[in-house]
């Protein structure tokens, strides 16, 4: 059987590493996508020998980025990707805290929406035709606990985009599941990363204190949930959101 090709955005980041690790273990050929070229190289080195990988350094702010990723995959002689993990995202903090909507600039609002919502939509749009043609596809969009429950310190731009990711997920699932393409989201709770490193130590401690598991999650724990939703076995799961948050919020 041909190994399926999986695109992972934000692959150079913390959770991205856990996603790469788990997808390689599932036997996927993994396309590492990120704008941070040195960390992209470091990620490839870290997993060298564990499976087939290629990397594409692009800024997802560029509308042409998904086409560039697809062209690089073709140049590499791989089949078109039938798994897309939309993991790249940003948050904007000021002295470790979020601005409320009175303080926040429209530029921040637009930038965060561009990367956290528009880029995943464009990436899905790039690879959906091949998934539909092959009657098999998996799209996993990374949301956030803050997009589903009380946002606490997450701030309006980040919170709103992470809620929008849930709507995008359900919309794609509604339209494409009949073609064998599932679309789901994962809502991580606290995972220590560059993103959470922008918070003050006090805010970070408050997040741990609110988590029944008493700790943050590991990239591997997040990657395992994401790789499951991208697996053959998850074919009847679509349009849903999987909370991976140590019990910080429950429904
Ligand atoms: N860490 C947490 O506690 C947490 C909690 C909830 C949700 N999440 C979500 O998990 C995902 C991964 O977060 P993380 O903690 O690993 O963050 P991270 O900052 O470690 O990684 C994010 C990666 O995305 C890349 N990226 C950002 N903007 C980009 C762009 N325009 N073009 C290309 N690459 C770009 C960055 O270079 C970085 O490597 C995000 O969607 C985030 O919102 C994280």
Dist CA 171 CA 132 (whole Å): 16
Q: Which of 18, 46, 43, 48 is nearest to 32 (CA)?
A: 43
Index of the ligand 1 atom closest to the CA of residue 219:
16
- The count of other CB atoms within 10 Å of the CB of residue 38 is 9
Q: How far is the CA of 166 from the centre of ligand 1 (A)?
A: 17
The residues lining ligand 1, judged by C-beta closer than 6 Å to any ligand atom, are: 10, 12-16, 34-36, 59-61, 87-90, 115, 142, 144-145, 188, 190-191, 193-196
Index of the ligand 1 atom closest to the CA of residue 217:
3
Query: Domain 5-244: which CATH class?
Result: alpha beta
Dist CA 49 CA 58 (whole Å): 24
pLDDT on residue 1: 61
Q: How far is the CA of 194 from the centre of ligand 1 (A)?
A: 8
pLDDT on residue 4: 98
Dist CA 113 CA 101 (whole Å): 14
Index of the ligand 1 atom closest to the CA of residue 158:
43
Nearest CA to ligand 1 atom 40: 89
Neighbouring residues of 226: CB distance < 8 A, sequence distance ≥ 6: 18, 19, 22, 85, 87, 140, 142, 186
Catalytic residue among 39, 115, 137, 158: 158
Neighbouring residues of 45: CB distance < 8 A, sequence distance ≥ 6: none
Task: Note if the pTM is more than 0.95.
Answer: yes
Q: Give the residue extent of every domain in the chain.
A: 5-244
Index of the ligand 1 atom closest to the CA of residue 86:
41
pLDDT on residue 44: 97
Are the CB atoms for 13 and 37 separated by under 8 Å? no
Neighbouring residues of 236: CB distance < 8 A, sequence distance ≥ 6: none
List the strands of the sheet with 53-57, edge to edge.
53-57, 29-34, 5-9, 83-86, 137-142, 181-188, 241-244
pLDDT on residue 199: 86
Backbone φ, ψ for residue 96 (5° rounding)? 85, 0
Q: How far is the CA of 59 from the centre of ligand 1 (A)?
A: 13
Indicate if 149 belongs to the active site.
no
Among 13, 68, 204, 217, name the best residue to mutate to test ligand 1's pocket (greatest count of ligand atoms within 8 A of Cβ).
Answer: 13
Q: How far is the CA of 133 from the centre of ligand 1 (A)?
A: 30
Nearest CA to ligand 1 atom 44: 188
Index of the ligand 1 atom closest to the CA of residue 188:
6
Q: Determine the number of helices (DSSP H) and then strands (DSSP E) in the chain.
A: 9, 7
Helical spans, DSSP H, in the chain? 14-25, 37-46, 65-75, 106-113, 119-134, 145-148, 156-176, 201-209, 219-229
Handedness of CA 6, 68, 184, 15 (dihedral sign): positive
Among 7, 8, 10, name the best residue to mutate to test ligand 1's pocket (greatest count of ligand atoms within 8 A of Cβ).
Answer: 10
Dist CA 4 CA 134 (whole Å): 11
- The count of other CB atoms within 10 Å of the CB of residue 237 is 17
Q: What's the average pLDDT block by block, 10 residues per block, for the chain (251 residues)? A: 92 98 98 98 97 98 98 98 98 95 98 98 98 98 98 96 98 98 98 89 92 96 98 98 98 89
């Amino acid at each position: 059987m041909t190994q399926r090709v999986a695109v992972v955005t934000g692959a150079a980041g913390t959770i991205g590493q856990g996603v790469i690790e788990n997808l390689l273990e599932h036997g996927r050929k993994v396309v590492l996508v990120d704008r941070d070229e040195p960390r992209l190289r470091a990620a490839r080195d870290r997993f060298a020998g564990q499976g087939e990988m290629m990397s594409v350094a692009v800024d997802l702010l560029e509308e042409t980025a998904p086409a560039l990723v697809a062209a690089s995959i073709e140049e590499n002689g791989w089949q078109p990707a039938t798994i897309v993990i939309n993991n790249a995202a940003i948050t904007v903090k000021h002295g470790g805290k979020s601005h409320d909507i009175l303080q926040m600039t429209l530029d921040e609002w637009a930038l965060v929406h561009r990367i956290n919502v528009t880029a995943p939509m464009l990436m899905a749009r790039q690879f959906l035709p091949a998934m539909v043609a092959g009657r098999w596809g998996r799209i996993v969009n990374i949301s956030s606990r803050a997009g589903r429950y009380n946002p606490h310190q997450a701030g309006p731009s980040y919170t709103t985009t992470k809620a929008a990711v849930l709507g995008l997920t359900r919309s794609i699932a509604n339209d494409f599941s009949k073609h064998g393409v599932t679309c789901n989201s994962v809502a991580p709770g606290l995972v220590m990363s560059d993103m959470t490193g922008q918070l003050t130590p006090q805010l970070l401690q408050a997040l741990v204190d609110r988590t029944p598991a008493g700790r943050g999650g590991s990239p591997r724990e997040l990657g395992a949930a994401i790789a499951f939703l991208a697996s053959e076995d998850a074919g009847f799961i679509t349009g849903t959101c999987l909370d991976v948050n140590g019990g910080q919020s429950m429904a």
